[in-house]
Amino acid sequence: MPVVSISEAARLSGVARSTLYRKHEQGKITFSALADGQPGIDTAELYRVYPQQSLQDSANTIVATAATRDTAAGERKIAELQLELRLTREQLTAAAQRETWLQRQVENLTESLKLLEHRPVDQPQPDQELLKQVEDLQKALDLLSTQQVAQEQSPRGFWARLFRRG
């Protein structure tokens, strides 16, 4: 049988709440805990102490109400789970789209890298003799620039400094 609150038990039995508390202190009725931890009375215990036909009818009503309350709680839970499922599916779809986009990016970059690394076979190799001539010319140019710098930095003589010549 379902557990009802003290107030509901008083209404069902037709007595005051204080009467139920007094019966509990005398040990004639026992309290149980509701789902939220509040004290309550099992309807079977209430019927044992107050055997009335109306109490039985009320107990049946309480059972139906409890079943309805459980159904409503179940429906809320189902709605929450459906919402969570929908959000999860949306996230999965977004992740799949990101993965597809990233795969395309990897393919594009791989293709670009292949194009950069590709060297045509018929491309002529630079002539070694020509390279040697370029190196020799570079060395000669470096030598000339070094000599010119050395001449510019040579100290001028006394008379050249005196008469400001070149």
Per-position pLDDT tens, the chain of length 166: 688 889 988 888 888 999 999 999 999 999 988 888 888 998 888 888 887 755 556 666 666 676 777 777 788 889 999 999 999 999 999 999 999 999 999 999 988 888 888 766 666 666 788 888 888 888 888 887 777 766 666 666 777 777 775 5
Could you state, in order of their start, the residue ranges of all structural domains in the chain? Answer: 3-72
| C-alpha to C-alpha distances, 108 to 98, 104, 131, 166, nearest whole angstrom | 15, 6, 37, 65
Total Cβ atoms within 10 A of residue 21:
15
